Each structure stands twice: as structure tokens, then as C-alpha cells.
Amino acid sequence: MAIIAASSVEKIFRQPKRQSGFGGALRSLFSREHTEVRAVDGISFAIEGGEAAGYLGPNGAGKSTMIKMMTGILVPSSGTVEVLGREPHSNRITNAAEIGVVFGQRSQLWWDLPVRDSFDLNRHIYDIPASRFADNLARLTSMLDMAGYIDRPVRQLSLGQRMRAEIAMALLHDPKILFLDEPTIGLDVVAKDVVRKFLAEVNRERGTTIILTTHDLVDIEEICPRLIMVDDGKLLFDGELRHLRTALGSRRRLKLEFGTDPGAITLKTAQLVTDEGLAKHFLLESQQTSILDVLTELGSGHDLKDVKLEEPNIEEVIRTFYQNKPALAGARP
Amino acid sequence: MRAASYPAFALTAFQSRLVYRNQVWASAFGDLVSIFARIAILTAAFAGAAQVDGITLPEMVTYALLSGPLLYWEYSRVLYDVGDAVRTGDVAVFLLKPLHYPSYLLSTHSGHFAFECVAIVVPVALIVGFTVGLLPPASLFHGLMFFPYWAVSWLILFILACLCGLLAFWLLTAFSLEWFLMAIMSLFSGAIIPLWFLPTPLATLFGYLPFAWISYYPAAVYLGKLDVTATWLHLGIGLFWLTVLSAAVLALWAKARHRLIVQGG
Ligand SMILES: Nc1ncnc2c1ncn2[C@@H]1O[C@H](COP(=O)(O)OP(=O)(O)O)[C@@H](O)[C@H]1O
Ligand SMILES: [Mg+2]
């Protein structure tokens, strides 16, 4: 059974239209004009217990808005969100006890207190039995290598240390689902790596369901087998990362190098994209096409020196995908 | 969540203040200076007279020291705590936890208040008591009643600060609200001029507004300016105001929360 189900979720933000200048400010006090932002636009998906799903999209795609709706601090304008069989907002307190949430850009630790004291407050808030708390604290402290700073006040920590503490804090009460909104934002390479490895392990070893938003594809590659891709509030792709290339119909690239320029070449199995004379770049027509098919069609007699096949780079695929999205919208597996 | 988490917040707030020990010295020193300044002004105003309008100088000095937590408690801490959380959207963090935000605020700030009582109010009172001399309470009854009055005084002040802080949700600035609250407080609460020096119609009016419970009544009760019946009656009225103001805070919080979950802050 799905533990998170979103069906045709929409979130429209209405903001009073602001006009510039003092007169404008006065006028907007009385006007009823609004601008509408459709932050989430008809999104449906279901996530099973134990999954790790990455919610990928550029800035303003509606990722945070979706996380807020799943955690119950924002209500959808239409459609429904269910988490653990409940509507999260109307069951806020019950829901809150069973989930853990990390916001990359918002701290939940008490600024002036040592990290340990924030953890201890969480023990009270979530009513964690003392022995379980001690076990979890010991395990998280060693896994996230926090022993060196757990007794230091939060305000003295580096961003990487703080983020590890935030994640530990969200896991102390053994939540069934962990939501993370851009957990790696602003971290350096090493800190990112620690966070990614840890999250993958928590998901694998403890079976905690993980939903994380990011605009960094590497987060998804290392943590989440499942990718949900959004832009402009709309769902673009939902499936396994390794199926993305096929789903997007991205084609492999073939580079043929010749000793002497054979002149123009047209093939049925591959399409010429750039012709540099001695080097010619082709795109293979389909996933089934092999190099052999191309070489067979090309035939002998050309002064062929070298053949190079390139898998499309996934970042590049996604970039072209976003650039061509009007044409590709609806191209789902 | 269990109720035990709320005392834990109070305790944590108390402990967190120990970190900023220098601030304690600064506050205690500032309070001492301002009290001695007020005493000096009062002494000059009495100009050797035994009493003014039936009030003696020692009574006035005692009043100046006891006129409620207003003087010693940094209520602006509440105002900024709420105002900032609301303005930056950090208040959402509290909605992610299984807890009730107003109760969290109450327990946290009672921890701050307890700290300030121990670290600032009692030492300052002792210093003033030993140097200038404090009057004893008018009677055992009045002395005992001072404590519930002081509690009501602090709670009303706390709730007014919360109200102003929550207003930042709509007005987006806690700064001007602090000035507003401070102006109202010094005018209506009797902190600067006790109500008994005011013209009767004004004193009667101010005597029924909730602000009078912040400064005037706790000190007036201690000095025995209210008889037994009036003391009980006014405690009742104070509790009534407390109920009304709490209801207002809860209603405003519900409205703010609604706005937060619909408009996202
Ligand atoms: N409280 C709000 N009021 C008005 N517009 C908002 C609000 N929150 C987000 N938006 C708008 O909704 C869109 C999606 O925002 P968000 O979910 O934060 O994107 P992301 O997290 O993917 O960067 C953006 O255009 C943003 O400006
Ligand atoms: Mg975001």
C-alpha cells in the first residue's frame, strides 16, 4: 500500500497585486486585484513504504510547496494528499509524530544551545523512551561523526556540521518517513558526500522512506532510485533514473573519424548532426541500432580511422529536456 | 507529545540564559540605575513633605520597586521572538512538530522570566531594600496576595507581547509595535505615575483597563491600598482580563495559522 499518495494536487498562491510608489501602495490597500502563482499544477504520484524518491526541478518548480503540503503545513488548493493514510494538515499533530522533516534553509536546532540539548528537547517533544533515545543518539552520533561537536552551541557550527545535526535531529524519533527539502544546498563536496551516503544507508538499512527535493542530479543518483521530475509545477517524469534516457528519447552519439574526407554521407540508421570533414557526428536513430548496423550501412571503401560511441550525459539530457519541454510535455514512460 | 515537554522548554530557556552572563550584569546594573534615578526624582518631588495626597515617600519608593515585572522583565524578547518567527516563516518549524506553539512560547518565556527573577529582580530588590529601605507589606494577607497579583501581572504582559508579535503577521514589523506597546504601558499601567495621583475620572477608567494589573495593582495591593474585598474583587477582574486576552491570542494564532497554511506566510 502506498504510504504517500498525491492525486491531482494543485496549489495556487494568491497575492494582492502590489503597485509601485506611494500612491500605488495606497491603491493596493483597497484594490482586490490578485496575482496568481500556480506553484503545483495537477501532480499525482504514489510512494511505497521503504522507497527513496528524489523530487528534482529547477528553482521555483514547486518542490518546497509540495513538501509543505505533504508535511501538513500547507493545504492544497485542490486535489488530495495522503500521508500514512491520513490527510496531513487536519491530523497535524499525529502526522508530525510519525514523520521527520529537514529544511535545508531553515534550522530546527536551538541556536544558543549545544546540539545535545536540542536533541534532548526533541526527546520530550516526541516522547521518545529513554533507552531508545540513547541507542538512536549513539548510532546517529557515530554514523554522522558528530562526537566532536555535539556539546558545542549550534551557532558555532559549520554548515556541514549543522546539516548533519539537523538530519540526526529529524531521525531521533524513528520516523516512518523522512522529508528533506534541499538537504545538500550550500554544502561543500565532502559534506554533500557524507549526507548522501548517510541518507542512502538509512533508507537501505532501516527502511525509512525518504523523499528529498533537490536541483542537484547527483543527490538523486546517489540516494534515490526513483526520480520525480517537475518544472513549473507540472510533472515531467516519474520513474527510475536509468529509464530517463529512454523516456526522453535521447539518442546516443556516434563519432566517425576518417583519414581523408569522404564527402557528404547520408545514412538511414544514423542522422548526421555535424560535419567537420574528417570527423562526422551522428545520432543513432533508436536504442536498437548498433554500431555494426551503421558500419554495415556505411560499407567499406571509406578511409575509416576511428569509431566512438557516446552515451548521452544525463545532465545534458535533462538540460535539453527542460529546454524543449513545450515539445516534450507529456512524454512520460 | 506529552505535557512534560513544556517544563523542559522552561528549563532549557533558563539554562540558555546562563550562557550570556554579561548580559545579566548589564541588565541588573541598568535596572539599579533606573530605580535609583526614580527614587531620586520622587525624593525631590516630595521636597521634604511627609506625604502627598496621603502617600508617604517610603510608600512611593516601595511602589517604584514593586510595580510589577514590567520594569524588570524584557517583554520585548517575546515580541521579537514571535515577530521574527512569523516574519521569516520560521514559525512553520513549530508546525512540523507535535506541539502547540502558544504553549511552547508560554513555557519558554516563563523560563526566561524565572531566570530574570533569580538573577536580576531579587538581587536588585535586596540592594534597594538594604540601601533605601523597603516597607513591609501592609498585612500578611496583602503580602501573600502580592504573589498571585504578580503572576497575573506577568501573564497579562506576556499575552500583550504575544498579541503584538502576532500582529507582525499582518503588519510585518515588530519594531513599531514595540514602541506602541511601550507607550501604552507607561501611560496606562501606572508604572510611571501611580493611578492614585491621577484625576478621579482618569484613574477610574485606567483602573478597569487590563494594563493597570501589570504595574499598579500588584504594588497597590502590597501597600494595602485595597481592602480585603477590593483585593479579591480586583484579582477576579484581573483573571477575567487574562481570560479575554488569552482568548484573543488563541484566536489570532488560529487566524495566523490559517493564513500560513493557505497562503504560505
Ligand atoms: N507563500 C507564497 N506566496 C506566493 N507565492 C509563493 C509562495 N511560496 C512559493 N511561491 C511561488 O511558488 C512557486 C514555487 O515555489 P517553491 O515551491 O518554493 O519552488 P522550489 O522549492 O521548487 O524552488 C514560485 O514561483 C514561488 O515564487
Ligand atoms: Mg525550495
CATH number for position A175: 3.40.50.300
Residues A276 and A160 in one domain: no
Cβ pair B19:A71 closer than 8 A: no
Please tell me the distance from the alpha carbon of residue B62 to that of residue B262, in angstroms, as a whole number: 51
In a domain, B247, yes or no: yes
Region for residue A36 given its phi and psi (left: phi exceeds 0; alpha: psi -120 to 50; beta: otherwise):
beta
Q: For residue A329, what pLDDT is reported?
A: 46
Tens-place pLDDT, residues B130-189: 888 888 999 999 999 999 999 999 999 999 999 988 888 777 666 677 788 888 888 888
Please tell me the distance from the alpha carbon of residue B224 to that of residue B149, in angstroms, as a whole number: 13
Helix (H) or strand (E) holding A53: strand A52-56
Query: Whole-number mean pLDDT of chain A?
Result: 87
Query: Whole-number mean pLDDT of chain B?
Result: 86
Q: Which atom of ligand 1 is nearest to the CA of A63?
A: 22
A interface test, pick of B23, B95, B103 with most A CB neighbours within 10 Å: B95
In a domain, A320, yes or no: no
Residues A178 and A269 in one domain: no
Q: Whose CA is nearest to atom 5 of ligand 1?
A: A13
Q: For residue B72, what pLDDT is reported?
A: 65
Query: With a 6 A CB cut-off, is B98 part of the ligand 1 pocket?
Result: no
Cβ pair B264:A127 closer than 8 A: no
Phi, psi of A311 (to 5 degrees): -70, 145
Residues A38 and A160 in one domain: yes
Residues A271 and A295 in one domain: yes
Give the residue from A252, A231, A248 showing the smallest Cα distance to A240. Answer: A248
DSSP state of A311: P
DSSP A79-129: EEEEETTB-TTTTHHHHHHHEEEEETTB--S-TTSBHHHHHHHHHHHTT--
Q: For residue A262, what pLDDT is reported?
A: 82
For residue A47, the tally of other CB atoms under 10 A from its CB is: 21
Percent of chain B, pLDDT > 70? 95
CB-based contact (8 Å) between B48 and chain A?
no
Query: In chain A, how many domains are there?
Result: 2
In a domain, B3, yes or no: no
In a domain, B67, yes or no: yes
Tens-place pLDDT, residues A99-144: 999 998 888 998 888 999 999 999 999 999 999 999 999 999 999 9
Q: For residue B218, what pLDDT is reported?
A: 93
Residues A255 and A241 in one domain: no
In a domain, B73, yes or no: yes
Percent of chain A, pLDDT > 70? 88
Percent of chain B, pLDDT > 90? 32
Which domain covers residue A158, as residue numbers? Answer: 2-245
Q: State the pLDDT confidence band at A332, using cuts at 50, 70 and 90.
A: very low
Please tell me the distance from the alpha carbon of residue B230 to that of residue B223, in angstroms, as a whole number: 13
In a domain, A211, yes or no: yes
Tens-place pLDDT, residues A7-34: 999 999 987 776 676 676 666 666 667 8
Q: Which of A42-46, A220-224, A310-314 has the lowest mean pLDDT?
A: A310-314
Residues A286 and A241 in one domain: no
Name all contacts of A73-76 with Cβ < 8 Å and 24+ positions apart: A73/B92, A73/B95, A73/B96, A73/B260, A73/B261, A74/A11, A74/B261, A74/B262, A74/B264, A75/B261, A75/B262, A76/A9, A76/A10, A76/A11, A76/A40
**Which residues are CB-neighbours of A20 under 8 A, at least 6 positions away?**
none
The C-alpha cell that represents B149 in the structure block = 497579583
Of A245, A264, A285, the domain-final residue: A245
In a domain, B4, yes or no: no
Residues A167 and A306 in one domain: no
Residues A217 and A289 in one domain: no
Please tell me the distance from the alpha carbon of residue B157 to that of residue B178, in angstroms, as a whole number: 12
**What average pLDDT does this structure show over A147-170?**
94
**What average pLDDT does this structure show over B24-44?**
83
Residues A230 and A196 in one domain: yes
DSSP state of A146: -
Q: For residue A241, what pLDDT is reported?
A: 81
Q: Tell me, in angstroms, the distance from the centre of ligand 1 to residue A118's CA.
A: 29
Which residue of chain A comes nearest to B259, CA vs CA?
Answer: A74
In a domain, A331, yes or no: no
Of A201, A225, A245, the domain-final residue: A245
**What average pLDDT does this structure show over A167-196?**
94
Residues A181 and A291 in one domain: no
**What average pLDDT does this structure show over A272-277?**
84
In a domain, A318, yes or no: no
Q: Which atom of ligand 1 is nearest to the CA of A233?
A: 14
Please tell me the distance from the alpha carbon of residue B38 to that of residue B65, in angstroms, as a whole number: 9
In a domain, B2, yes or no: no
Which residue of chain B comes nearest to A70, CA vs CA?
Answer: B96
Handedness of CA A137, A138, A139, A141 (dihedral sign): positive
Q: Which of A252-261, A282-291, B55-64, B225-234 tops mean pLDDT?
A: B225-234
Residues A43 and A110 in one domain: yes
Q: State the pLDDT confidence band at A167, using cuts at 50, 70 and 90.
A: very high
Q: Tell me, in angstroms, the distance from the centre of ligand 1 to residue A60's CA.
A: 6
Scanning B17-36 for CB atoms below 8 A from A yields 19
Q: Which atom of ligand 1 is nearest to the CA of A59?
A: 23
Query: With a 6 A CB cut-off, is A250 part of the ligand 1 pocket?
Result: no
Q: For residue B75, what pLDDT is reported?
A: 80
Q: Are A239 and A220 in contact (CB under 8 A)?
A: no
Which domain covers residue B234, as residue numbers? Answer: 16-258
CB-based contact (8 Å) between B93 and chain A?
yes
In a domain, A80, yes or no: yes
Of A245, A276, A292, the domain-final residue: A245
Q: ipTM for the complex?
A: 0.80
R_g over Cα of chain B:
19
Residues A53 and A171 in one domain: yes
- The residue with greater pLDDT, A242 or B202, is B202
In a domain, B5, yes or no: no
Cβ pair B1:A127 closer than 8 A: yes
H helices, E strands: number in chain B: 12, 2
Query: With a 6 A CB cut-off, is A15 part of the ligand 1 pocket?
Result: yes
How many Å lie between the alpha carbon of B125 and the closest alpha carbon of chain A? 29
> Is the overall model pTM greater than 0.90, yes or no?
no
Query: With a 6 A CB cut-off, is B262 part of the ligand 1 pocket?
Result: no
DSSP state of A248: T
Q: Tell me, in angstroms, the distance from the centre of ligand 2 to residue A226's CA.
A: 19
Q: State the pLDDT confidence band at A270, using cuts at 50, 70 and 90.
A: confident
Closest Cβ–Cβ partner in A14, A93, A121 for B8 = A121
Q: For residue A25, what pLDDT is reported?
A: 66
Query: In chain B, how many domains are there?
Result: 1
In a domain, B7, yes or no: no
